Amino acid sequence: MSERPRVAVVGAGPAGAFAASQLLSGTGGPDIDLFERLPTPWGLLRGGVAPDHHEIKRLDQLFDRQVLRRPRCRFFGNVEVGRDVSHGDLMRHYDAVVYAVGAQTDKSLGIPGEDLPGSLPATDFVGWYNGHPDRRDLDPDLSGRHAVIIGNGNVAADVARMLTLSAEELARTDTADHALEALRESAVEEVVVLGRRGPAQAAFTSAELRELGHLEGVELVVDPAEVELDPVSEEWLASEGSFTARKNLELLREFAAREPQPDAPRRIRLRFLSSPVAIRGEERVEGVEIGRNRIERSDDGTLRARPVDEGPELLECSLVLRSVGYQAVPLPDVPFDERRYVLPNERGRVLSVESGQALPGVYAVGWIKRGPTGILGTNKRDAQETVRCLEEDLEAGALPRPPEPGADKVDALLAEKAPRAVSVDGWRAIDELEQQRGRESERPRVKLASLEELLAAAE
């Protein structure tokens, strides 16, 4: 029986990777088993970050070095906790379980027509072009000339770029082959990006916004009238606006002042103070009906977009991608805060819904802990907080030893319940094959994008 404590980290995205890295950083720490529902690690770093942002994807080398290459770490891909193995199974074999499962679904808009063919969550589209095996068959309809993206955060910006980048530029990225092919044939010429609030409250980072204004062959259209600030926003920007908000407005004004480029083959049009009211179409999406908003300060001091009484406007389009945020899904047998869509927790210690007391040995990190906010590095501080609690609890002897500790017990469990689990060697085989195919075609990698291909490569 092993003397060293054993910790299961569930989810090998950035939050799980940072948590595992923290737990593995000292010499006397616990042994780690890293569980992942997909055969491949790194979550949204692989399946979310846009293919043309390959610099950011280099973070996988840090994770590899600080997690998978550490001797006290094992990887079990293609094992879904809650389906293949249960929370109870983990509690029977580990001193502690750290949930890092993220927010796996999208928020809906709650408007008529949302489920018409041609209306999709942006997150599905992102998974599709990034080779997420669950999204391989999404088959988005790119046969129309107009697309509308609802929401103006960085996911919206990524999607707008992916819909307008030239085939040559896309061909240099690790965009999944099925998506490369479909995007090459795409008829989309104009992408409208809708923001509920005004230009001062745009959710893009200024880096992403700047990029939209410098795409080869793409005109970025911003209506000068839309970048005039209302008095509420003016005052807000001066008193509370972040450096990013001021930069965004500066950039938007610069873009609005540009000469029109009628010959540009493709166009991204940013619209503000506009909310979708309904998605229209008989059999499939034919357009989005939008209403105008104005910015008001609500009683609690925050800014709100309130509808103004103006007739709705119809934006004709055949593709609507909604990008208004991610949402977590509950895990079987683990407490869930139905209002905030997170595991109820205090600094990462998961709390019982009934008693409000910490459940010994259960922790959360990343989006399932704090909600879907922040950028990659945010998870590092988040993981430090959770791991500090876990280490304190271990040191204080607050965690009872599990009834059946021991790595071999876990092996036996997986042999029975998840016989096609992918080991670290399996992942390395996938990684090597993808990179080798990448070298052959001068791309960073060529992703295997179906579960069968991935498992075949791993085995």
Partner 1 sequence: MTYVIAGSCVKDDVCIEVCPVDCIHPKPGDLDFETAEQLYIDPEICIDCDACVEVCPVDAIFADHEVPEKYEYALDLNAEFFAEREPVS
Under the binding rule (CB under 8 A), the answer on residue 136 touching partner 1 is no
Cα of first residue to Cα of last residue in the chain, in angstroms, is 30
Q: How far is CA 378 from CA 13, 19, 324, 367, in A?
A: 13, 12, 20, 10
Local structure of 102: helix, strand or coil: coil
Whole-angstrom distance, CA of residue 123 vs CA of residue 384: 28
Whole-angstrom distance, CA of residue 210 vs CA of residue 254: 10
Q: Which residue lies nearer to partner 1 by CB, 142 or 209?
A: 209
Under the binding rule (CB under 8 A), the answer on residue 213 touching partner 1 is no
Q: Which residue lies nearer to partner 1 by CB, 258 or 381?
A: 381
Selected range binding partner 1 among 201-209, 290-298, 305-313, 344-352, rule: CB under 8 A: 201-209
Whole-angstrom distance, CA of residue 188 vs CA of residue 318: 9
Selected range binding partner 1 among 204-212, 271-279, 297-305, 333-341, rule: CB under 8 A: 204-212
Under the binding rule (CB under 8 A), the answer on residue 55 touching partner 1 is yes
Whole-angstrom distance, CA of residue 185 vs CA of residue 22: 45
- Buried-exposed string 392-422: b where 16+ CB fall within 10 A, e elsewhere: ebbeeeebeebeebeeebbeebbeeebeebb
Selected range binding partner 1 among 74-82, 125-133, 238-246, 316-324, rule: CB under 8 A: 238-246
Under the binding rule (CB under 8 A), the answer on residue 377 touching partner 1 is yes
Read off the tokens for 412. 């036996």
Under the binding rule (CB under 8 A), the answer on residue 186 touching partner 1 is no
One residue of 33, 36, 158, 211 binding partner 1 per CB under 8 A: 211
Read off the tokens for 121. 């969550």
Under the binding rule (CB under 8 A), the answer on residue 205 touching partner 1 is yes
- Half-sphere exposure in the Cβ direction for 134 (13 Å, CA): 13
Under the binding rule (CB under 8 A), the answer on residue 376 touching partner 1 is yes
One residue of 70, 136, 247, 284 binding partner 1 per CB under 8 A: 247
Under the binding rule (CB under 8 A), the answer on residue 62 touching partner 1 is yes
Sheet holding 218-222, edge to edge: 119-121, 319-322, 146-150, 190-194, 266-271, 218-222
Under the binding rule (CB under 8 A), the answer on residue 415 touching partner 1 is no
Q: Which residue lies nearer to partner 1 by CB, 142 or 200?
A: 200
- Residues near partner 1 (CB under 8 A), total: 26
In contact, 97 and 8? CB cutoff 8 Å: yes
Q: Which residue lies nearer to partner 1 by CB, 318 or 386?
A: 386
Q: Quote the least distance from Cβ 443 to partner 1, whole Å.
A: 18
Q: Quote the least distance from Cβ 210 to partner 1, whole Å.
A: 7
Selected range binding partner 1 among 122-130, 135-143, 236-244, 354-362, rule: CB under 8 A: 236-244
In contact, 43 and 123? CB cutoff 8 Å: no
Q: Which amino acid is at 360?
A: P
Under the binding rule (CB under 8 A), the answer on residue 26 touching partner 1 is no
- Half-sphere exposure in the Cβ direction for 325 (13 Å, CA): 13
Sign, CA dihedral 245-53-79-2, equals negative
One residue of 59, 116, 138, 429 binding partner 1 per CB under 8 A: 59
In contact, 120 and 127? CB cutoff 8 Å: no
Under the binding rule (CB under 8 A), the answer on residue 61 touching partner 1 is yes
Q: DSSP state, 88?
A: H
Selected range binding partner 1 among 194-202, 205-213, 282-290, 323-331, rule: CB under 8 A: 205-213
Under the binding rule (CB under 8 A), the answer on residue 210 touching partner 1 is yes
Q: Quote the least distance from Cβ 377 to partner 1, whole Å.
A: 3
Q: Which residue lies nearer to partner 1 by CB, 167 or 238?
A: 238
Q: Which residue lies nearer to partner 1 by CB, 52 or 114?
A: 52
Whole-angstrom distance, CA of residue 331 vs CA of residue 373: 20
Selected range binding partner 1 among 1-9, 203-211, 323-331, 434-442, rule: CB under 8 A: 203-211
One residue of 83, 297, 340, 381 binding partner 1 per CB under 8 A: 381
Strands 326-327 and 105-106, by their bridges, are antiparallel
Under the binding rule (CB under 8 A), the answer on residue 112 touching partner 1 is no
Read off the tokens for 459. 């085995």
Under the binding rule (CB under 8 A), the answer on residue 242 touching partner 1 is yes
Q: Which residue lies nearer to partner 1 by CB, 78 or 154?
A: 154
Q: Quote the least distance from Cβ 207 to partner 1, whole Å.
A: 3
Residue found by looking up tokens 């994807």 in the block = 57
Strand residue runs (E) in 175-312:
190-194, 218-222, 266-271, 274-280, 287-297, 303-307
Under the binding rule (CB under 8 A), the answer on residue 106 touching partner 1 is no
Under the binding rule (CB under 8 A), the answer on residue 56 touching partner 1 is yes
Q: Quote the least distance from Cβ 205 to partner 1, whole Å.
A: 4
Binding site for partner 1 (CB under 8 A): 53, 55-56, 58-59, 61-62, 205-208, 210-211, 214, 242-244, 246-247, 374-378, 380-381
